[in-house]
Amino acid sequence: MADSLDRLTIRGFKSIRELEDFELRNLNVFVGANGAGKSNLIAFFRLVQALVEDNLADFIRESGGISDLLYNGRKVTKHIECETHFGVHGYRFAIKPGPGEGFALANEACYDQSGEKRWRELESNGDNSPLLVKEAKGNSHDSQYSRPVFDAISSWKIYHFHDTSATAAMRHAEIIEDNKALRYDAANIGPFLLRLRQDEQACYDDILNACRLVAPFLDDFLLEPQQLGPKTKVSLSWKTKGSDYPMQPYHLSDGNIRFICLATALLQPNPPTTMIIDEPELGLHPEAIRILGELILDAASRTQVIVATQSPLLLDQFAIENIVTVNRRDGQSTFERLQRSDYSEWLESYSVGELWAKNVIHGGTTHE
């Protein structure tokens, strides 16, 4: 398996003026008030992933243009910089604004601690496509250094289960062949669960049992292929205990279908190297949030998990060392990993979530 991300540097991106050599562990729970910068951090992961997918231009355009991505705009910030480390490997790059809303990808370099132990600049061929991708997919000697970074970033999955409306993809059937990996919006949850039931029964049972804790009426999922025109599709239908009547996806409440998606992502047998989830507590009742915390801890024992939250109850499920506060100071986002020694006396009387809600832990509900 590719290495997870263990150190990160970001300069000049949105509200993140400077995040220097920040340590990331197996579990990283980012908490902060509205507007502190949690979503901007997740947006940065989207940018890096778009880069390795060779979709950087689309990402920048859909984000409002390069000027909107620069910290305080072009007059203040000349370029965006990033440096990532994955075990003994590393990758860095810069994005420089050009005329209008144009941009240039620049200063790409790879690092391999097991080899020459220095940054190696990637040679440009004159276009604006990512050199990391070209080298990693090539057959040159140097691809052995860039390929581990490319594989790690390509494996990232940024899950977003906020849309549970009637038109949400998770409530509709998807082709049966789309079952290899759970999509970011769970559009293929039916085919994916069907494959797990056929090939990974123990994992499927774990997911089903976790969902039963939140929805005790749930007996099992009905994942029956349906012939819809020329395509065979599967949807997330289900049955309740004591009844054989097939319930359809639109019968599930927003909270229940969101939890099913979360449980499936967190308990999947071959998780991505880094799993990123923004505000997973949305729409969940307190007991479901507690169970969600247990699932996140389980996932973090098998892969790297990054969560952004505003839920005191979810914070209560984690050790204080897993928590990173995000604050807005002097117009920029700051990030600080908490240390138990700083709050040992408080923790004798209060939970972590209570300390955050009371603003004893900086990053609570107050603003700059």
Q: What percent of the chain has pLDDT over 70?
A: 96
Per-chain mean pLDDT for the chain: 92
Please determine, for residue 368, whether its predicted confidence score (pLDDT) is greater than 70: no
Indicate the pLDDT class of residue 1, thresholds 50, 70 and 90.
very low
Which residues sit opposite 306 in a β-bridge? 28, 276
Residue type, 273: T
Indicate the pLDDT class of residue 366, thresholds 50, 70 and 90.
very low
pLDDT value of residue 236: 92
Indicate the pLDDT class of residue 63, thresholds 50, 70 and 90.
very high
What distance in Å separates the CA atoms of residue 107 and residue 93, rounded to the nearest whole number?
5
Structural contact between residues 93 and 82, judged by C-beta atoms closer than 8 angstroms: yes
Structure confidence by residue, pLDDT tens digits, 278-317 = 999 999 999 999 999 999 999 999 999 999 999 999 999 9
What distance in Å separates the CA atoms of residue 250 and residue 262, rounded to the nearest whole number?
18
Q: Tell me the CB-side half-sphere exposure of residue 169, using CA atoms within 13 A.
A: 15
pLDDT value of residue 229: 87
Structural contact between residues 292 and 14, judged by C-beta atoms closer than 8 angstroms: no
**Choice between 66 and 368, residue whose per-residue pLDDT is larger:** 66
Structure confidence by residue, pLDDT tens digits, 328-365 = 999 999 999 999 999 999 999 999 999 998 889 876 54
- The edge-to-edge listing of strands for the beta sheet with 304-309 is 157-159, 274-278, 304-309, 27-31, 323-329, 332-337
The DSSP symbol for 25 reads -
3-class secondary structure, 24: coil
Residue 338: CB partners within 8 Å, gap ≥ 6? 320, 321, 323, 324, 325, 361
Structure confidence by residue, pLDDT tens digits, 155-184 = 999 999 999 999 999 999 999 999 999 999
Structure confidence by residue, pLDDT tens digits, 68-91 = 999 999 999 999 999 999 999 999
What does DSSP say about strands 304-309 and 27-31: parallel, antiparallel, or unpaired? parallel
Strand ranges in the chain using DSSP code E only, listed in sequence order: 7-13, 16-23, 27-31, 80-86, 89-97, 103-112, 119-121, 157-159, 174-175, 218-222, 226-228, 231-234, 237-240, 274-278, 304-309, 323-329, 332-337
pLDDT value of residue 75: 92
Q: Which residues of 67-81 are buried (b: 16+ CB within 10 A; e: fewer)?
A: eebbbeeeeebebbb
Q: Tell me the CB-side half-sphere exposure of residue 262, using CA atoms within 13 A.
A: 33
Please determine, for residue 324, whether its predicted confidence score (pLDDT) is greater than 70: yes
Structure confidence by residue, pLDDT tens digits, 93-130 = 999 999 988 899 999 999 887 656 688 898 776 667 89
Residue 247: CB partners within 8 Å, gap ≥ 6? 222, 237, 238, 239, 240
What the chain holds in terms of domains, given with CATH numbers, is 7-156+304-357 (3.40.50), 166-271 (no CATH)
What distance in Å separates the CA atoms of residue 96 and residue 49, rounded to the nearest whole number?
18
> What global pTM score does this model have?
0.93
Tokens at 7, concatenated = 């150190």
Which residues sit opposite 328 in a β-bridge? 333
Please determine, for residue 367, whether its predicted confidence score (pLDDT) is greater than 60: no
Please determine, for residue 67, whether its predicted confidence score (pLDDT) is greater than 70: yes
pLDDT value of residue 117: 64
Residue 59 burial (10 A CB sphere; 0-12, 13-18, 19+): middle
Q: What percent of the chain has pLDDT over 90?
A: 81
